């Protein structure tokens, strides 16, 4: 209850008007990093969220005479339109003629030696959403490892975390390390990309690399930061971003979470789910070419009716998954897929749900780990609470 009241109070204090007036994201603080680029060949790890005002960072740097030799793109591609996990081919930026090197082409975990020797400084600018299973930070870590190997400098242009106001969920058991979980951190870690980079180097999770973080000016962790651009094709609203920690778990089950509808991550359902008035049918769409339960009418729950404050106060809740499990016939192991453990990061949640445990009983399992993690991350934080 105290946590809920605190969040509500902070929300009242941190209005959108205040956000717009005081915040300058790292990319906008050009006085802090342009001098570090003079005389060097620069590569960017960037996508459609990498904006300086309304202008893309690539265009901004080229206008300033920066020698940009390569663009690296993460999941969803440079333009941010590819499906989740879809392989994206490399290409050329039509506007500038700079080669775009896809890091999600399915061929390798890092660029070739030849490509790594084509630049001196890597500039990272990606809008993250603060979840362990959101892949942008993993791509950044892989590039940091590569830069450490070649003695290159990394500059992270930081952006606020829209889920940065709390920490929740189990820490990753590294037995389940994967492309959707790379570090022993909670599902909702409460850190920015710059802070993750600092912690990865400081804790020895990444090889030591020459690292600079350009912080966000005027940001505090309690602020509500509303994204102006959808960070990926199926996270289209701020409401979906707040629901994402809990609803993404349906990716590891037989359920649909609304991919292929107008509101992905804001609903869940299944053709055999009982006791539901809400209906939806996933269709093949841009960003969801082959969604789960394609063209099947699903009975389910419309989460668009749940207000943001309730979603945030619930944190990383398992209540939606438990509800779906019970209302689809409590199918035991058949309800889940192996991907579920990669998302939650531990082996006990599936077992406890099948055994009939409540959301509160399961969440109690990770509270001590959360407290320890919050102490562990303190040396790497850049922003006040």
How many other CB atoms are there within 10 angstroms of residue 381's CB atom? Answer: 17
CA dihedral 246, 79, 89, 181 (to 10 degrees): -20
β-bridge pairing 41-46 and 67-73:
parallel
What is the CATH number for 205? 3.40.50.12170
117 domain residue, yes or no: yes
- Do 188 and 262 reside in the same domain of the chain? no
The answer on 199 and 281 residing in a single domain is no
With respect to residue 366, please indicate whether it lies within any of the assigned structural domains. Answer: no
| Count of structural domains, the chain | 2
> Measured between alpha carbons, how far is 161 from 224 in angstroms, rounded to an integer?
9
- Rounded distance between C-alpha atoms, residue 174 and residue 170, angstroms: 12
Residue whose pair of structure tokens reads 């990093």 in the numeric block: 33
187 and 133 together in one domain: yes
Do residues 93 and 127 both lie within one domain?
Answer: yes
Regarding whether 297 and 195 lie in a shared domain, the answer is no
Cβ(25)–Cβ(216) below 8 Å: yes
Same domain membership, residue 248 and residue 207? no
CA distance 119 to 98: 13
Burial (0-12, 13-18, 19+ Cβ within 10 Å), 355: exposed
Question: What confidence score (pLDDT) does residue 379 get?
Answer: 98
pLDDT of residue 106: 58
∠ at Cα 36 (32, 41), nearest 5°? Answer: 135
Q: Is there a domain that residue 379 lies in?
A: no
Residue 379 to residue 371: CA distance in whole angstroms: 15
Cβ 157 vs Cβ 25: under 8 Å: yes
Judgement on whether residues 260 and 144 belong to the same structural domain of the protein: no
The pLDDT of residue 19: 54
Main-chain dihedrals φ then ψ at residue 377, nearest 5 degrees:
-80, -15
Last residue of a domain, one of 227, 254, 283: 227
CA distance 261 to 244: 16
Averaged over successive runs of 10 residues, the pLDDT of the chain (385 residues) comes to: 41 44 91 98 95 94 96 73 53 87 72 94 97 96 97 98 98 96 98 98 97 98 94 95 98 98 98 97 92 98 96 96 97 97 98 98 98 98 95
84 and 134 fall within a common domain: yes
Beta bridge partners of 288: 285
Question: Do 115 and 45 have their domain in common?
Answer: yes
Q: Is residue 384 part of a domain?
A: no
Within a 13 Å sphere around the CA of 296, how many CA atoms are in the beta-carbon half? Answer: 17
Residues 276 and 183 in one domain: no
Residue from 179, 164, 202, 61 nearest 121 by CA: 61
Do the domain assignments include residue 359?
no
In a domain, 380, yes or no: no
- Residue 65 located in a structural domain: yes
Q: Would you state the pLDDT for residue 84? A: 53
Q: Does 300 fall in a domain? A: yes
CA angle 264, 265, 267 (to 5 degrees): 85
> Is the same domain home to 41 and 129?
yes
Which structural domain range is residue 274 located in? 238-354
Considering the entire predicted model, what is its pTM? 0.91
Structural element, H or E, at residue 122: strand 121-125
Q: What residue has token string 């005479």? A: 65
Residues 321 and 244 in one domain: yes
For residues 189 and 131, give the distance between their C-alpha atoms in angstroms, rounded to a whole number.
6
Predicted pLDDT at 92: 86
């Amino acid at each position: 209850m105290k946590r809920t009241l605190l969040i509500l109070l902070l929300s009242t204090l941190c209005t959108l008007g205040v956000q717009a007036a005081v915040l300058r994201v790292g990319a906008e603080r050009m006085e802090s990093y342009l001098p570090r680029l003079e005389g060097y060949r620069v590569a960017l790890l960037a996508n459609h969220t990498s904006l300086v005002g309304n202008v893309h960072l690539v265009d901004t740097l080229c206008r300033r005479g920066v020698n940009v030799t390569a663009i690296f793109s993460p999941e969803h591609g440079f333009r941010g339109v590819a499906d989740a996990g879809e392989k994206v081919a490399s290409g050329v930026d039509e506007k500038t003629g700079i080669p775009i090197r896809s890091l999600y082409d399915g061929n390798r975990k890092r660029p070739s030696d030849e490509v790594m020797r084509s630049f001196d400084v890597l500039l990272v600018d990606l809008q993250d959403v603060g979840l362990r299973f959101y892949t942008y930070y993993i791509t950044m870590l892989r590039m940091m490892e590569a830069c450490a190997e070649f003695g290159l400098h990394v500059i992270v242009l930081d952006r606020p975390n829209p889920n940065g106001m709390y920490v929740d969920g189990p820490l990753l058991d590294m037995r389940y390390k994967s492309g959707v979980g790379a570090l022993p951190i909670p599902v909702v870690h409460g850190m920015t990309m710059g802070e993750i980079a600092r912690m990865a180097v400081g804790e020895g999770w990444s090889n030591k690399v020459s690292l600079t973080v350009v912080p966000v000016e005027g940001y505090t962790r309690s602020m509500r930061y509303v994204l102006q651009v959808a960070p990926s094709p199926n996270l289209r609203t701020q409401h979906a971003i707040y629901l994402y920690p809990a609803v993404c778990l349906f990716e590891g089950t037989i359920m649909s979470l609304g991919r292929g509808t107008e509101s992905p991550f804001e609903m869940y359902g299944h053709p055999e789910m009982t006791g539901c008035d809400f209906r939806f049918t996933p269709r093949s769409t841009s960003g969801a070419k082959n969604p789960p339960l394609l063209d099947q009418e699903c009975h389910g729950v419309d989460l668009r009716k749940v207000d943001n404050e309730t979603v945030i106060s619930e944190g990383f809740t398992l209540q939606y998954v438990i509800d779906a499990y019970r209302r689809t016939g409590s199918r035991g192991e058949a309800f889940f897929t192996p991907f579920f453990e990669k998302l939650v990061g531990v082996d006990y949640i599936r077992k406890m749900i099948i055994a009939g445990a409540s959301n509160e009983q399961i969440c109690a399992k990770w509270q001590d780990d959360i407290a320890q993690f919050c102490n562990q991350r303190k040396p790497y934080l850049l922003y006040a609470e």
